[in-house]
Structure 1
């Protein structure tokens, strides 16, 4: 039996061959900081090795699924590089997630942004409350989506819509997300977990080998894109982390004002 007592951010409940994973820091909208990265990276390997689990539900505590990266870490990390999250951790989260053999149902209960959205969108079935909003706001803080958003969005919604949302940082309402194919289904808020449970039970009672092989073959398409692009997205994100625009975004956040971006004015670009 796998021991989940080491997890603090990820709350693990198991019943009837289903694991319910709850991102559990509601006061911070389940933001994923340095310590949380390690848990979100490791949990998928533990789930893979837990023979008592045949399907997984992933949701968030409180009013958010996950706000994504910790904004305070982004701000402070500009001047203190020692607190930055290693790029290998970011990649391992997504690699471990797509290598997870068992079906995962994301139950998006509220705000779902950045890395939180990337994690949710890599799940096999993505359900969202009618009140949920999904997006990748990296561009608003002078960064590129280096955590996998550039990979998964065009696979789900096509290049035109991916560019629309990744290059503006606009959030998508749940009904619109369903319409464009970003998610599987919109559900009334009070029915979200019941719907997720129905999906999980169906998978848990299904033919495990066939389900696993079908999922893994489909995920080979995502894996190919990860192998093609992920290292490059990390490199470009680290370049933007050191940019004048990101510094301005950090300053404007602390000063509670709108950023004035100016990186075209003499800044060296590396391609």
Structure 2
């Protein structure tokens, strides 16, 4: 597998270990339509790659992924066709990750925000630096946390904690995320690569069929939850996209101002 024509993802190989890195470091690896399309494509390709036994998913530069590109959001405020496409893409990205039977290790080297946090939590094993910033701030831009966060966060860390985090859009550190069970582990920044590589090597050299089928078994409950709820959650997010509060939030964010919400 040559993994050609990728621009927003940087793909490298070390033996049986494939590293996929978000590659828009100048924008803290914020997503855009091109990245959505490449994330849709990469997981089926990995699933057909006989050389890859484990994947490390990370970000170039100082962030994992800062989530949605707010400037792009402003340009698309009235482009409902693009919004509907993005909702379909967000759903398919998560399901394509589930369909890929290669274990995925999230290497969270910095901010994992919005869809970035959702993708981080979709990894089979998630290792973050202790100071990494993790949040799903949909409500801060006037949107429903509908692209997977409202399913994954309570499933991993429980409803009581994640109600607070998702209803406020509060940021937590990698250490706090590990302490509440949202991610697998948090380590000092200078230990991140060693720990991720240790786990990757162990999986890469393990019993291939047993590992892949165990992943398939483990994701069945996640798939069931997403299949039952995802369309409804994306519908609620679309409702919030049409609100005045979303427009107010995006315009304020781009202008460096504090949004004054109207409730409409």
> Which bin holds the TM-score, normalised by the shorter protein?
over 0.9
Superposed, 1:165-244 pairs within 5 Å as 165-244=165-244
How far has the Cα of 1:20 moved from its partner? 0.9
CA–CA distance in 1 between the matches of 2:164 and 2:226? 21
SS of the equivalent of 1:63 reads: coil
- After superposition, what is the alpha-carbon deviation per residue over 1:43-76, rounded to whole angstroms, capped at 9, x for unaligned? 1111111000000111101110000111112222
Q: Which residue of 2 aligns with 1:65?
A: 64
How far has the Cα of 1:106 moved from its partner? 0.4
CA–CA distance in 2 between the matches of 1:148 and 1:250? 21
Q: Which residue of 2 aligns with 1:160?
A: 160
TM-score by length of 1: 0.94
- After superposition, what is the alpha-carbon deviation per residue over 1:162-215, rounded to whole angstroms, capped at 9, x for unaligned? 111111100111111111001111111122122111111100111111111111
CA–CA distance in 2 between the matches of 1:241 and 1:73? 14
SS of the equivalent of 2:213 reads: helix
Work out whether 1:4 is the aligned partner of 2:3.
Answer: yes
Superposed, 1:1-271 pairs within 5 Å as 2-84=1-83, 85-263=85-263, 267=264
CA–CA distance in 1 between the matches of 2:193 and 2:230? 32
SS of the equivalent of 2:219 reads: helix
CA–CA distance in 1 between the matches of 2:181 and 2:213? 23
Q: Indicate if the aligned counterparts of 1:118 and 1:148 stay in contact, CA closer than 8 A.
A: yes
TM-score by length of 2: 0.96
Name stretches of at least 5 consecutive residues in structure 1 with no aligned partner: none
CA–CA distance in 2 between the matches of 1:210 and 1:175? 31
CA–CA distance in 1 between the matches of 2:150 and 2:197? 30
CA–CA distance in 1 between the matches of 2:252 and 2:32? 21
Instruction: Give the root-mean-square deviation of aligned CA atoms.
Output: 1.2
CA–CA distance in 2 between the matches of 1:4 and 1:259? 42
How far has the Cα of 1:82 moved from its partner? 4.6
CA–CA distance in 2 between the matches of 1:43 and 1:159? 32
CA–CA distance in 1 between the matches of 2:251 and 2:65? 24
- After superposition, what is the alpha-carbon deviation per residue over 1:219-265, rounded to whole angstroms, capped at 9, x for unaligned? 010000111110011111111111011011122123321111112xx
Q: Indicate if the aligned counterparts of 2:21 and 2:60 stay in contact, CA closer than 8 A.
A: yes
Q: Indicate if the aligned counterparts of 2:19 and 2:55 stay in contact, CA closer than 8 A.
A: yes
Q: How many residues align?
A: 263
- After superposition, what is the alpha-carbon deviation per residue over 1:71-108, rounded to whole angstroms, capped at 9, x for unaligned? 11222211233543432111110000111101110010
Q: Indicate if the aligned counterparts of 1:73 and 1:83 stay in contact, CA closer than 8 A.
A: no
